[in-house]
Amino acid sequence: MKERRRRPKLLARRSLPLLASALIVIGAVAVTLVIAHVGRNASAASAGGRAGTSGGPGSAPASALTSPMPKATDRAAAKKPASSQAPLRSNDCGPDPHLCGFPDATNTGVPAGMALAPVQPRSHGPGWSADSQGNVEVSGNGAVFAGYSVHGYVDVTGSNATVRDDSIVNYGTDINGDGVNLSGNPSNVTIEDVSISSPYGSSGDRGIFAGIKDINGEAMGTRVLDDNIADASTGVQIYIGLIQDNFIHDVTPAAPGSHLNGTTSNGSTVPLTIQHNTVFNPNGQTDAVSLFEDFGVEANVVINDNLLAGGGYTVYGGQNAGGPQAYNIKITDNRFSTIYFPQGGYYGYITAFNPNAPGNVWSGNVWDATGRAVSP
């Protein structure tokens, strides 16, 4: 609203020689300014809906008022994504990843203070249902399963589904011991701000089999974002999509002899991006990030800007001995921490990578403690 300007008139009146006339004009101007001020406030109140969707600037949108489980009005106030935090230091990130802007327990999983509803056996909601043991199937296309505490696994079969702001506690082997399964190749599934762990922590051989797993290995468009995954023999096993801003840690056997992986893929040429995660495997076997060729050639993978530590080798770069040539594997700008072993992993930080294969890139990778470059 264009402000009415009264001061030029006031100055002009002050130039009148007669004091009485000046006093009259000053009084008139004061009244006019009060009226204008009230008018401006009334106009601002009537126009407040332009900034929000109802009631004025900062008001909750109507959708938030009708949602059965609304998120925080300002989600950023509850939990800032790790990728948006200004780093406080640039080296020695392993002990406190968030100080370098990396994911850890402070900025992943269910936002602090969020109340969760326990899933009851045989309960159900829009697009999801629980069995007699409390395991959940998210079957509806576009379904959102959010704000729950689950003791068991979550099986996603619906495309465009979202699992968000959930705590999942489970343990065991195979599908029944997973955190979140993708079954039947659903497309465009998002698993975000989820906390996954075993009720036994990292003690013994009673971890989760896989924190998040694509059962058939062909689900397209999967996004694994801002999750806190602990106590799993494999943190994330997907072949296609995006793994970003997750804290994968305390990798733990689900049974004696379990292979222990932070993230793993067993062969695909459809793009996979593993970016800005913290992946810590305190064990001296297997990996933090691995690309294997058990089911086919590995190609078109980006492993970028991660904080990595542990395993037998910290990274397996996709080239199985005697296997087909892996290609277009880009390992860039990662930090290798020595919090468990002097060489990153028990045996070293990289294996099964051919820097001379077509499209393969090794660039910008450094030791976390010093910032010094590491070579493939």
Three-class secondary structure of residue 117 per DSSP: strand
Query: Quick one: 205 exposed, middle or buried, by C-beta within 10 A (0-12, 13-18, 19+)?
Result: middle
Residue 171: which of 192, 156, 151 has the closest Cα?
A: 151
pLDDT of 146 over the 60 cut: yes
Cβ 272 vs Cβ 254: under 8 Å: no
DSSP 8-state symbol, 175: G
DSSP 8-state symbol, 36: H
Per-residue pLDDT at 25: 34
Query: Quick one: 79 exposed, middle or buried, by C-beta within 10 A (0-12, 13-18, 19+)?
Result: buried
Cβ 368 vs Cβ 336: under 8 Å: yes
Ranges of each domain in the chain: 7-46, 98-367
Amino acid identity for residue 231 in this structure: D
pTM higher than the cut 0.85 = no
pLDDT digits (tens, 9 = 90+) for 9-32: 333 333 333 333 333 333 343 333
Cβ 261 vs Cβ 287: under 8 Å: yes
Cβ 29 vs Cβ 10: under 8 Å: yes
Query: Quick one: 128 exposed, middle or buried, by C-beta within 10 A (0-12, 13-18, 19+)?
Result: buried
Mean pLDDT computed over 215-236: 97
pLDDT digits (tens, 9 = 90+) for 242-251: 999 999 999 9
φ, ψ of residue 127 in degrees (nearest 5): 80, 5
Per-residue pLDDT at 85: 57
Per-residue pLDDT at 83: 54
Per-residue pLDDT at 89: 83
> pLDDT over 70 for what percent of the chain?
77
Residue 172 — left, alpha, or beta (φ > 0 → left; ψ -120 to 50 → alpha)?
left
Mean pLDDT computed over 180-185: 97
Per-residue pLDDT at 137: 98
pLDDT of 119 over the 80 cut: yes
Instruction: Place 340 in a pLDDT band, splitting at 50, 70 and 90.
Output: very high
Cβ 345 vs Cβ 375: under 8 Å: no
pLDDT digits (tens, 9 = 90+) for 37-87: 333 333 333 333 222 222 222 222 222 222 233 333 344 444 555 555 567
pLDDT of 217 over the 50 cut: yes
Rounded to the nearest 10 degrees, how much is the dihedral formed by the CA atoms of 134, 140, 143, 145? Answer: 0
Query: Which has more pLDDT, 59 or 143?
Result: 143
Mean pLDDT computed over 150-172: 98
Instruction: Place 322 in a pLDDT band, splitting at 50, 70 and 90.
Output: confident
Per-residue pLDDT at 60: 27
Per-residue pLDDT at 49: 29
Instruction: Place 88 in a pLDDT band, splitting at 50, 70 and 90.
Output: confident
How confident is the prediction for the chain on average, in pLDDT? Answer: 83
